[in-house]
C-alpha cells in the first residue's frame, strides 16, 4: 500500500503558502480641497484667506486589509509608516494571502500605545519610529500629526502668521476605515488613497492656534477631523488612466505681454482647477470649477519674471506650463 510521507504534505503546504502572497503598495495623493497639494504653495480657504503649509507629516499604523468577501490580512512588514505630504508611494511589503480584490482598508492615524511608550533611539536607523523630529521630549510621546505653516491674519491674502500643530498622546489615536474597492494584478495590489490636507484643519482657528505641541483641545480637533471630515478617501487607478490624454493643450498668448491670456483644452469631462504663481510665490491666484475647454485672461499687471500655470482635476490629472513676462 502506498504511504505518503508527512514531509511531503509539509513541503506542499509550505510551497502553497509561498505562492499565496500578495505584494502591497500604498499610494497617497495629498490634495488641498480639489487642488493637488504642493508643500510651500499658498492656497485660499473657503473664507478667502491665504494659507501656506510648509510641513505635513503623520504616522499611520496597524494597517488591515479587508478583501475577497470579508477576509482579513494584516500588514506586518511595516506596522508603522511615516507619511510625508511630498511623498506618494509607500511599499508595504507582502501579506501571506492571495488578495484578489480589496474591499476596505483600516488603519490608525498615530502610534499605538505600546509603541508610544518607546523613544526613537529604541529603533534602528531607517525605521519609521526612529525619526527624532516626530517625537516630543516634553510630552513623552510621538507626534501623531505634524502640520506647520503660515496663515493670512489680516485678509490681504498673504500668509504672515505662523502656526505649529503637533498632536501628541495616546488618546489622540484615531481609527480610519475606508472603502477601497481595488483589484490586484499579477499578485500585486496597489491601494490608491487621497488625503485632503484642508480637511485636517476644518473648524480650527489657526490665527489663535500659535504653537501647540500637546494633546489639548486644538490638536484633539485636528485628530477628530480625520474621521469627522473624511480626510482619507479612495480613488481607483483606472479613473486616472482613462482620463489622461497627450492631446491636452495649454497655450499662452503674450501679445499683451504684462496681461497674457491662457488658452487651454483638456480631453476630460471633469471640471478643472487652475493655479497661477511665480517662482518666489509673491504672486498667486486660484480659480476653481473651470470648463475643460476655455480661455483665461489675466487682468493683473504682471511684473517681469517666470510664472507657472497649473491645471488639475479631482481625479489627479495635473499639467503645467511655464511662461515668462518681460516688461
pLDDT digits (tens, 9 = 90+) for 138-147: 999 999 999 9
Asked whether residue 3 is assigned to any structural domain, the reply reads no
What confidence score (pLDDT) does residue 26 get? Answer: 93
Q: How confident is the model at residue 7 (pLDDT cuts 50, 70, 90)?
A: low
Q: What is the pLDDT of residues 269-296, one digit of tens each?
A: 788 888 888 765 567 788 888 998 999 9
Q: Is residue 14 part of a domain?
A: no
Count of Cβ atoms closer than 10 Å to residue 178 Cβ: 16
Let me know if residue 17 belongs to a domain: no
Whether 276 maps to a domain, the answer reads yes
- Asked if 277 and 161 sit in the same domain, the reply is no
pLDDT at 183: 83
Please tell me whether residues 224 and 255 are part of one structural domain.
no
For residues 301 and 113, which has the higher predicted lDDT (pLDDT)?
A: 113
Same domain, 87 and 145: yes
Distance CA 86, CA 319 (A): 17
**Residues 173 and 36 occupy one common structural domain:** yes
Instruction: Identify whether 9 is part of a domain.
Output: no
The confidence band for 240, taking pLDDT boundaries of 50, 70 and 90, is very low
* Domain limits for position 33: 22-239
- C-alpha grid cell for residue 11? 513541503
Q: DSSP for 2-14?
A: ----HHHHHHHHH
Using the predicted structure, report yes or no on whether residue 236 has a pLDDT greater than 70.
Answer: no
Residue entry with cell 490608491 = 192
Q: How many domains does the chain have?
A: 2
Out of 218, 239, 260, pick the residue that ends a domain: 239
Whether 11 and 75 have beta carbons less than 8 Å apart is answered as no
pLDDT in the model for residue 52: 94
Contact 201, 225 (CB under 8 A): yes
Say if residues 139 and 106 touch (Cβ distance below 8 Å): no
**In this model, does residue 316 exceed pLDDT 90?**
no
Residues 59 and 123 both lie in one domain: yes
Read off the CATH number of the domain in which 307 is found: 2.60.40.10
Q: pTM of the full predicted structure? A: 0.70
- Rounded-to-integer distance, Cα 172 and Cα 124, Å: 25
Read off the pLDDT of residues 158-217 as tens digits, 9 standing for 90 and up.
Answer: 899 999 999 999 999 999 999 888 888 888 998 989 899 999 999 999 999 999 999 999
Of the ranges 35-39, 87-91, 116-120, 149-153, the best mean pLDDT one: 116-120
Amino acid at each position: 500500500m502506498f504511504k505518503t510521507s508527512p514531509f511531503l504534505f509539509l513541503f506542499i503546504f509550505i510551497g502553497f503558502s509561498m505562492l499565496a502572497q500578495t505584494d502591497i503598495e500604498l499610494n497617497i495623493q495629498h490634495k488641498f480641497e480639489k487642488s493637488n497639494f504642493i508643500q510651500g504653495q499658498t492656497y485660499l480657504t473657503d473664507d478667502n484667506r491665504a494659507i501656506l503649509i510648509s510641513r505635513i507629516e503623520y504616522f499611520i499604523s496597524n494597517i488591515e486589509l479587508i478583501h475577497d468577501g470579508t477576509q482579513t490580512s494584516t500588514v506586518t512588514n511595516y506596522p508603522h509608516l511615516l507619511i510625508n505630504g511630498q511623498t506618494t508611494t509607500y511599499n508595504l511589503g507582502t501579506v501571506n494571502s492571495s488578495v484578489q480584490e480589496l474591499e476596505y482598508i483600516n488603519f490608525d492615524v498615530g502610534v499605538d500605545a505600546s509603541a508610544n511608550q518607546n523613544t526613537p533611539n529604541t529603533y534602528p536607523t531607517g525605521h519609521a519610529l526612529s525619526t527624532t523630529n516626530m517625537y516630543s521630549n516634553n510630552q513623552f510621546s510621538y507626534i501623531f500629526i505634524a502640520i506647520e505653516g503660515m496663515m493670512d491674519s489680516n485678509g490681504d491674502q498673504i500668509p504672515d502668521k505662523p502656526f505649529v500643530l503637533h498632536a501628541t498622546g495616546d488618546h489622540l489615536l484615531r481609527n480610519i476605515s475606508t472603502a477601497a474597492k481595488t483589484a490586484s494584478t499579477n499578485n500585486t495590489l496597489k491601494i490608491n488613497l487621497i488625503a485632503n490636507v484642508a480637511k485636517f484643519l476644518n473648524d480650527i482657528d489657526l490665527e489663535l492656534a500659535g504653537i501647540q505641541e500637546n494633546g489639548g483641545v486644538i490638536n484633539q480637533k485636528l485628530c477628530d477631523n480625520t474621521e469627522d471630515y473624511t480626510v482619507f478617501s479612495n480613488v481607483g487607478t483606472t479613473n486616472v488612466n482613462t482620463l489622461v490624454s497627450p492631446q491636452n493643450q495649454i497655450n499662452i498668448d503674450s501679445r499683451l505681454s504684462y496681461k497674457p491670456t491662457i488658452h487651454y483644452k483638456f480631453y476630460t469631462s471633469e471640471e478643472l482647477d487652475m493655479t497661477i504663481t511665480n517662482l518666489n510665490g509673491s504672486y498667486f491666484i486660484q480659480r476653481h470649477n473651470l470648463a475643460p475647454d476655455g480661455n483665461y485672461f489675466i487682468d493683473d499687471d504682471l511684473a517681469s519674471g517666470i510664472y507657472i500655470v497649473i491645471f488639475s482635476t479631482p481625479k489627479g490629472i495635473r499639467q503645467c506650463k511655464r511662461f515668462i513676462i518681460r516688461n
